[in-house]
Structure 1
Amino acid sequence: MKKHLKNNILIFLFLFIFACSSPTINDTSEDLPNIGDVPKSFTEATDDFAFNLLKTTNASEPAEDNIFISPLSVHIALGMLLNGADGTTAQEINKVLGLGGMDIEQANRFYASLLTNLPKADAKVNLNIANSIWYRNTFPVESSFISTLQNAFLAEATPLNFDDPTVKNVINNWVNAKTQNRIPKIIEQINPDDVMFLINAVYFKGDWKYQFSTEATQEWLFNLSNTSTKKVQMMNMQAELAYNQRSNYTAVVLPYSKGNFNLTLILPSADQSLTSFINSFTEAEWKNLQNSLTSTRKVNVGLPKFTLEYDIALNNVLQSMGIKEAFSNQANLTKISKQGRLYVNSVKHKTFLQIDEKGTEAAGVTSIGVGVTSVNPNTPPTIIFDRPFLMILSEKQSNTILFMGKITNP
């Protein structure tokens, strides 16, 4: 694109971190709270978006690579952008988010409810969702855009001198603080044409309801996608868990604290690749699975202990999903500024994940299945996550998916 078409550029970023640690929590007597007035249609739309985002991201990455994303964070960040869009640009974003005939005021009300009520879902879980707007102090931003994001998204709005080379540190310091020092930097540099950053950060820290014993952790071989193996530290435990075996996968649920947040681990059958499984796993199947995980039984679980960081530019992913005009010089972002000539220049996505005996820093979904038909029905099934698996962290009452991951090389 020629220089004169790049006068003003919207830089759009989001990041997220999930962390869990500390001792076992046994108190589950408190009732699970109501998440608010978020309708089923809205949470189903966010879940459908989550699976579309995972599939499209997976298609853009090498099959042997790990993937870790927060669909909730991406949805919220795009929701902020939607408030600045109009015309075809807004229609494309609305469609990809699955908002259908919902008007922007309704959507904003539901975003506000999620932002207010999700962090209250479990007093023993630390969930923080933060939004911010950073813009060039000489750039004319519509006051209605700022006020809407402050009210509906609880966003902090800060004008800055983008010509000052140290200003990026102000933004990075905010990011670092909101992610508890796990993501210290998101902005490498601010270019002369950059006029705005929209940033969403999600931080989650929760305790395993059933903790893995460090004494039970042992060296184990993990089967990689390319048929080779690597040594991992495999954590092991036996607990009363929700468990379900299907024809092509097995799922087990590891709850946090009171059980309002859960990590669902899904292991495809040995004759199916994780990529092909992800392509066939839909929001409808996820809903069906959730409905079937209503009872518990004793289950032996083996889960690798690992740490990973994930970083991806999502421009191409979002364009493949259908958000095209926002990335072009035809973008209509006039609700951000009547001056116009804005477009989405960059979408950055950064995550951190660590899983150990105490809990998880970051997030993932793991699933290993053992056929119950070959053992005594009274014998606890054993699920060892020693090959590529899917992981989904969700909130139980609203069925909102916070994080998803494809783990191929822990």
Structure 2
Amino acid sequence: MCSGRFGNLPGSAVADRRRWLTKACASSQVQIVSLVVARARVATMVYPLHCLCLTIALAGQAPEQDSASSVAGQIRSDKGRPVAGALVRGMGSKVVARSDAQGRFDLRGLAFGPAHLRVQVLGFEPVDTTVTLRRAERLVWKVVVHEADWAVKARRLDSARVAAGGVDSVAFGLVSTDTSTGVTYERFGIRLLRAAVKHSGPGSSRVLSPLSAGQALALALGAAKDSTAISIARALDLVGLGLEGIAARSRRFNDAVRSRRDITLKIANGLWVDTSATLQPHFASWARAHYAAAVRVQPLRVLQVVSVLNRWADSVTSGAIPVIRDKEFGESVEVALTNAVYFKGRWLEPFDSSLTQERPFTTANGKRVATPTMERTTNLAYRRASRFQAVRVPYTAGLTALYIVLPDSGVSAVTVLDDVERTGWPIPNPRAEARTVQIRLPRLHVTQATDLRPAFTDLDVGILFDSTRADFGGLVVPRPDRPPPCPPLSSGVHLEACTRHRISEAAQHVFLDVDEKGTEAAAITSIGFGVRITSAPPPPIRFFVDRPFLFALRDEKTGTFLFVGFIADLRQ
């Protein structure tokens, strides 16, 4: 039915309007349902016929459902790879589609007749075609897109920059962190730094290598038994991996860093055995296989051992740490374990030395001291938290980065370190959190030694130093002139006399140098095992490091924490 209301028009005019409307309805071949009529009736009373005819005309232009045509197919690059996210559209209509991960698309609802189709995707030249579609036809279109000239040039330029280490691989999405290929030592490193700061005082700077201390303990784990082994695994936060799992990951990491070209990262392990003892063959072969530990038989209780160990330290750290001992080991020490880590990396974007100038730095004790401070304004991964700011400064190729945590003015760095211990080290994402940052960073030069025994004790591994509980039964071959090895604590067996090995000394020497070109850092962890016979986007963000701060030097491929630091005073 085709009808309408005509208001208060004269009778003859109404008749003329009705005849015109009848013809219009017939020629449009559109049946006007009651909903359309109702809509026309609530329209304005002045021009109701005009509104109704407009509705008829629009309805006549839309293709009928059973007559609509479609085009489906797949989009591939000229190299044969599927292209996802390409826009396919029927020009002159609102019909569009996107290609999926396999490059497939389905463009539905096209009117029959001539159709101009276009495919567009970033980095490729657009593709156009014109087809004639029959009523309800489904056409298959296989599309090949060719890379745009500008994209080819950009890709070649990026490839050259990547090869030269001039691109932040993490920011470009070329590399993502895979913690399953190594041991991160993140939680262990944060807790170790917090414990060391506690014992040295908040007014003293402290720099440590979680990687060096962690691998030294992981190597000692191979000789540990019973409760001692459990305590070490818990301190390293690696209980779930087990001895062999930790060793396998350590080996993969140590093997991988040897082939790195973006940075220099060297790791060395050594076992020094006194002439009075014999290393357990199983432990010796295991340490060689998994940690490339060199086993040397050397008198440890004579003065000559000092020069031997210092020459080794100087060699494995490229001269950064020439001295780790100034006297021989104590009378009870039968085995010494050493681990060395050496790092050298250049900034992805070096600081301009002409911008370096003396600027004030407020120490943890409130004193203002002038120190050479570098400056640069660039895009960096940046995060603002409730009580601190964090920024990521990458080295060549972006596969290693320095993460700096700057407490807000008036907030203690120790307080922020406590927060970090609970929540983990803040790691701004360069892909999602890039901002323009004006960074000022003091040159750093730190050389120090840290007694690890108090810090290890705070990490609940005090058992390592306890002559009545430590169990390193897998370390050396029992001697017939001594009582038998002490039974495990868990056995409940107590002997009147037995032999037990414990850790009698544990220390780490560290070197750190940060300047306009990059960073050089080294650490040597030494552990001495003693024997005891016993009964039982806006304007640039200002990131001015002019007060105490924290830092972590992290390998981005594995998430391993190489060095961590608490800088309270630059004069130390």
Scaled to the shorter chain, the TM-score interval is: 0.7 to 0.9
Distance across 1 between alignment mates of 2:271 and 2:202: 35
Q: Find the counterpart in structure 1 of residue 492 from structure 2.
A: none
Q: Find the counterpart in structure 1 of residue 412 from structure 2.
A: 273
Shift of 1:285: 3.8
Give 1:148's match in structure 2, choosing from 286, 299, 314. 286
Q: Find the counterpart in structure 1 of residue 21 from structure 2.
A: none
Shift of 1:240: 1.7
Query: Unpaired segments of 5 or more residues in structure 1?
Result: 1-24, 364-376
Shift of 1:270: 1.1
Which whole-Å deviations, capped at 9, do the CAs of 1:360-385 have from their partners, x for residues lacking one? Answer: 2338xxxxxxxxxxxxx631112110
Q: Read off the aligned partner of 2:566 and give its amino acid letter.
A: K
Distance across 2 between alignment mates of 1:346 and 1:215: 46
Distance across 2 between alignment mates of 1:177 and 1:112: 22
Residues 251-400 of structure 1 aligned to structure 2 (within 5 Å): 251-282=390-421, 284-286=423-425, 289-291=427-429, 294-330=432-468, 331-339=470-478, 340-362=499-521, 378-400=538-560
Which whole-Å deviations, capped at 9, do the CAs of 1:12-67 have from their partners, x for residues lacking one? Answer: xxxxxxxxxxxxx762287967888x628x746x2111111111111111111001
Distance across 1 between alignment mates of 2:548 and 2:355: 22
Give 2:303's match in structure 1, choosing from 153, 165, 170. 165
Distance across 1 between alignment mates of 2:309 and 2:180: 34
Would you say 1:193 and 2:332 are equivalent positions?
Answer: yes
Distance across 1 between alignment mates of 2:345 and 2:166: 14
Shift of 1:334: 0.9
Native 8 Å contact 2:313 2:321 kept in 1: yes
Distance across 1 between alignment mates of 2:352 and 2:198: 37
Shift of 1:204: 0.4
Distance across 2 between alignment mates of 1:34 and 1:173: 38
Distance across 1 between alignment mates of 2:464 and 2:230: 10
Q: Read off the aligned partner of 2:228 and give its amino acid letter.
A: T
Shift of 1:97: 1.2
Distance across 1 between alignment mates of 2:235 and 2:280: 25
Give 2:214's match in structure 1, choosing from 64, 75, 85. 75
Shift of 1:141: 1.4
Q: Find the counterpart in structure 2 of residue 50 from structure 1.
A: 189
Give 1:204's match in structure 2, choosing from 322, 343, 362. 343
**TM-score, normalised with respect to structure 2:** 0.61
Q: Read off the aligned partner of 1:351 and give its amino acid letter.
A: V
Q: Find the counterpart in structure 1 of residue 159 from structure 2.
A: none
Q: Root-mean-square deviation (CA), in Å?
A: 2.2
Which whole-Å deviations, capped at 9, do the CAs of 1:194-223 have from their partners, x for residues lacking one? Answer: 211100000000111111111101111111
Q: Read off the aligned partner of 1:176 and give its amino acid letter.
A: D
Which whole-Å deviations, capped at 9, do the CAs of 1:313-333 have from their partners, x for residues lacking one? Answer: 111110121112220212211
Give 1:240's match in structure 2, choosing from 367, 370, 379. 379
Q: Read off the aligned partner of 1:173 and give its amino acid letter.
A: R
Which whole-Å deviations, capped at 9, do the CAs of 1:151-208 have from their partners, x for residues lacking one? Answer: 1111111111335432321121111100111111112222332211100000000111
Q: Read off the aligned partner of 2:180 and give its amino acid letter.
A: P
Q: Find the counterpart in structure 1 of residue 277 from structure 2.
A: 139
Q: Read off the aligned partner of 2:256 and give its amino acid letter.
A: N
Native 8 Å contact 1:32 1:260 kept in 2: no
Q: 1:128 to 1:254 in 2, by over 3 A?
A: same
Would you say 1:223 and 2:362 are equivalent positions?
Answer: yes
Q: 1:202 to 1:308 in 2, by over 3 A?
A: same
Q: 1:245 to 1:47 in 2, by over 3 A?
A: same
Q: Find the counterpart in structure 1 of residue 161 from structure 2.
A: none
Q: Find the counterpart in structure 1 of residue 561 from structure 2.
A: 401
Aligned-pair identity (%): 26
Would you say 1:59 and 2:212 are equivalent positions?
Answer: no
Native 8 Å contact 1:329 1:343 kept in 2: yes
The alignment partner of 1:39 has SS state of: helix
The alignment partner of 2:234 has SS state of: helix
Deviates more, 1:126-135 or 1:353-362: 353-362
Q: 1:271 to 1:293 in 2, by over 3 A?
A: farther
Q: Read off the aligned partner of 2:510 and give its amino acid letter.
A: T
Q: Read off the aligned partner of 1:379 and give its amino acid letter.
A: P
Q: Find the counterpart in structure 2 of residue 39 from structure 1.
A: 180
Q: Read off the aligned partner of 1:350 and give its amino acid letter.
A: H
Shift of 1:292: 7.5
Q: Find the counterpart in structure 2 of residue 113 from structure 1.
A: 252
Which whole-Å deviations, capped at 9, do the CAs of 1:273-326 have from their partners, x for residues lacking one? Answer: 001110111364426x44576342321110111312121111111012111222
Distance across 1 between alignment mates of 2:262 and 2:165: 11
Q: Read off the aligned partner of 1:317 and give its amino acid letter.
A: A
Which whole-Å deviations, capped at 9, do the CAs of 1:330-362 have from their partners, x for residues lacking one? Answer: 221110024243110100111011221112233
Q: Find the counterpart in structure 2 of residue 20 from structure 1.
A: none
Q: Read off the aligned partner of 2:511 and give its amino acid letter.
A: F
Distance across 1 between alignment mates of 2:327 and 2:366: 41
Distance across 2 between alignment mates of 1:302 and 1:29: 21
Distance across 1 between alignment mates of 2:332 and 2:359: 51
Q: 1:233 to 1:69 in 2, by over 3 A?
A: same
Deviates more, 1:54-63 or 1:100-109: 100-109
Distance across 2 between alignment mates of 1:35 and 1:379: 30
Q: Read off the aligned partner of 2:355 and give its amino acid letter.
A: A
Look at both structures and tell me which one has the larger radius of gyration over its CA atoms: 2
Give 2:320's match in structure 1, choosing from 176, 182, 196. 182
Native 8 Å contact 1:35 1:114 kept in 2: no
Distance across 1 between alignment mates of 2:295 and 2:411: 48
Query: Unpaired segments of 5 or more residues in structure 2?
Result: 1-163, 479-498, 523-536
